Structure 1
Amino acid sequence: MTTRRVSLPGVGVQYDFTTEHGRRLSVVVHSDGRRFLGFFDADDPDSCVLSVPLSTEEAAAMSHLLDPGPIEAVRTDGIDLVTEHIPVGSRSPYAGRLLGDTRARTRTGASIVAVLRRTGAFPSPGPTFRFAAGDTLVAVGTREGVDALAEIITGG
């Protein structure tokens, strides 16, 4: 697995990534913030077969999909609070259902403080907020509570 950074004068920077299996991906970050994700031919590593333009928001969403790690824990009055992103997958028992149906806070003690959707963010959703497959829930609570909430949402 190798990575390479190449300056593109007047354009921006290109980052190339070669996977363990020899596939090459590229991200071009333009000086104006635009980004392009490029996929290269396995037989001809210099031939880009597909280029996908990404807005800044789309690039951020993609990075969360690739690295959905939790946000650092916050220590408050002897209680460790964590904030974590929980995806609502297409197989989630709550995709298409209301937040109130989860009874999340009652069952786990964790709170859903926002929902991130491709079309925007929804802070402080109420019990009548309807989840959609592809949403990302921003949850706050104890480690145990957030883990329990993730189990409920993913159906695991």
Structure 2
Amino acid sequence: MGIIRESELPGLGKKYQLEARSGDKLVIVIHDDGRRELFHYDDHDPEESISLVTLEDQEARQVAAIIGGMTYKPKALENIEVTLEELVIDWFKLEASFKSVDKTIAELDVRAKTGATVLAIIGKNGQKINPGPEDRLVAGATIVIAGERKQIRLLKELLQFG
């Protein structure tokens, strides 16, 4: 993993410097008004910024979701789970044949029956982060789920077989 340094910018916000394993240097300034500035520096001159991108708060959050894998999971990672202690985060595509299709999270009683959590529903018409119990599961959507391994297994069974 790369090196990240954090520093306060009094009256302005916070600054994060990232030195990636690739050698790239990125500086992110988060302003107190919500704007983010991303500076990319020249490999040969660490003081020379070669590009700057300015994002509003909502744009930055959308980019964070994209980079974090909430909207697309690379094919090479489809079967890899991200594990944090006992917590597993997984992506699961809802097939048209699944018993859960066209039912809401509440109708399936996901939390009570499995203990797992649906973090996001990513469909053809966009994404829904932190869906509520009234959100309906549709064929072709991918859901992002979290829980312990046993809970994830139970949820996948519930989604497929009812």
Q: Return the alpha-carbon distance in structure 2 between the equivalents of residues 86 and 115 of structure 1.
A: 10
Q: Return the alpha-carbon distance in structure 2 between the equivalents of residues 125 and 71 of structure 1.
A: 28
SS where residue 131 of structure 2 aligns? strand
Pair 1:130-2:131 in alignment = no
TM-score by length of 1: 0.52
Whose strand fraction is larger, Structure 1's or Structure 2's? Answer: 1
TM-score by length of 2: 0.51
Match of 2:149 in 1: 143
For residue 149 of structure 1, report the CA deviation from its aligned partner: 5.4
CA contact (8 A) 1:114 1:125 kept: no
CA contact (8 A) 2:82 2:90 kept: no
- What per-residue deviation string (whole Å, max 9, x for no partner) do you get for residues 26-52 of structure 1? 221112333334333334432142425
Pair 115,3 (structure 1): closer, same or farther in 2 beyond 3 Å: closer
Q: Return the alpha-carbon distance in structure 1 between the equivalents of residues 5 and 19 of structure 2.
A: 9
Amino acid at match of 1:86: D
Pair 120,5 (structure 1): closer, same or farther in 2 beyond 3 Å: closer
Gaps of 5+ in 1: 74-81
Pair 1:51-2:57 in alignment = no
Pair 1:116-2:90 in alignment = no
- What per-residue deviation string (whole Å, max 9, x for no partner) do you get for residues 119-156 of structure 1? 54322256x522666x552345x523415757xx9xxx
RMSD: 4.6
CA contact (8 A) 2:37 2:52 kept: no
Pair 63,32 (structure 1): closer, same or farther in 2 beyond 3 Å: farther
Gaps of 5+ in 2: 71-80, 102-107, 122-126
Instruction: Please show how residues 5-154 of structure 1 align to structure 2 within 5 Å.
Output: 5-45=6-46, 46-53=48-55, 55=57, 57-58=61-62, 61=65, 64-65=68-69, 69=82, 84-88=88-92, 92=93, 94=94, 100-101=100-101, 110=114, 113-116=117-120, 118-124=127-133, 128-130=136-138, 136-140=143-147, 143-147=149-153
